[in-house]
């Protein structure tokens, strides 16, 4: 029987974990929390609660939950009181929110422009090229119209959007981006994709990367403009008596 050799190796572990993608914005929130108007504080608190869940989903590789919770985090930031006949998540409110965020950002530090030009530019180009998250593609497919129709529209919209990036028209860019992300959102929430499907992984991962990069900046802009009227909460906190 051979001798058993015992070896001792020093294993060095890096205990320093990578900071969550929302950590800088969360630090800003913690510093200002006590000074915030109640509606703004609730919005941002709710948004961070969903960002934390999205980070957990990302760590476990669950991109379906990751995307859905990121979308909810964004809704937490902009959702507001709606009038009679309106609907939750009304697109008019949504567009107005994006417009305000972009205007305030331009007056401030230009965080969104830097994001679009640098950090997510490559992912943005891929998203714009992807017909599977393009609404007109599905409309043409389901109506039986010629393929050439959506192909031409796709390329024109891509060129307009990339030109808007260079011209600092961040509102137009974000509008187009969210039109694409909305298709992914609908596929998930309306049963148009299987849970954990390999078919839509590319679109889903790219969507998550964009939302993870954008939402903390949106929250930073809101925190830098707490006196701005962000609208009345539709679901305020109500304590039971």
Q: What is the pLDDT of residues 198-208, one digit of tens each?
A: 888 899 999 99
201 within some domain: yes
Tally of residues, the chain: 241
Tokens of 229: 């009227």
Residue 175 lies in a domain: yes
Establish if 26 belongs to a structural domain: no
Residue 13 lies in a domain: no
Has residue 1 been placed in a domain? no
Residue 230 lies in a domain: no
pLDDT digits (tens, 9 = 90+) for 75-123: 999 887 555 444 444 677 888 999 999 999 999 889 999 999 999 999 9
- Report yes or no on 109 lying in a domain: yes
Query: What domain count does the chain have?
Result: 1
Domain assignment of residue 206, yes or no = yes
CA atoms of 151 and 136, how far apart (whole Å): 9
Range of the domain at 173: 50-76+88-221
- Measured N-to-C along each axis, helices 201-223 and 38-60 cross at an angle, to the nearest 10 degrees, of 150
**pLDDT tens across 116-155, in order?**
999 999 999 999 999 999 999 999 888 877 778 899 999 9
């Amino acid at each position: 029987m051979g001798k058993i050799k015992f070896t001792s190796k020093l294993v060095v572990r890096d205990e320093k974990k990578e900071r969550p993608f929302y950590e800088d914005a969360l630090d800003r929130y913690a510093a200002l929390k006590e000074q915030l108007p109640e509606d703004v504080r609730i919005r941002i608190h709710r948004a961070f609660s969903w960002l934390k869940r999205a980070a957990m989903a990302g760590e476990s590789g669950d991109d379906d939950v990751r995307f859905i919770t990121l979308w909810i985090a964004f809704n937490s930031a902009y959702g507001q009181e709606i009038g009679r006949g309106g609907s939750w998540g009304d697109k008019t409110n949504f567009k107005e929110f994006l417009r305000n965020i972009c205007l305030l950002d331009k007056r401030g530090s230009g965080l969104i422009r830097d994001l679009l030009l640098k950090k997510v530019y490559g992912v943005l180009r891929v998203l714009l090229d992807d017909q599977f998250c393009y609404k007109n593609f599905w409309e043409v497919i389901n109506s039986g119209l010629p393929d050439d129709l959506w192909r031409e529209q796709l390329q024109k919209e891509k060129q307009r959007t990339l030109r808007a990036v260079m011209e600092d028209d961040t509102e137009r860019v974000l509008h187009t981006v969210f039109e694409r992300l909305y298709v992914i959102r609908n596929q998930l929430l309306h049963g148009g994709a299987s849970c954990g499907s390999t078919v839509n992984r590319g679109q889903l991962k790219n969507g998550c990367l964009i939302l993870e990069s954008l939402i903390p900046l949106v929250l930073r802009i809101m925190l830098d403009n707490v006196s701005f009227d962000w609208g009345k909460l539709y679901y305020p906190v109500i304590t039971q008596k």
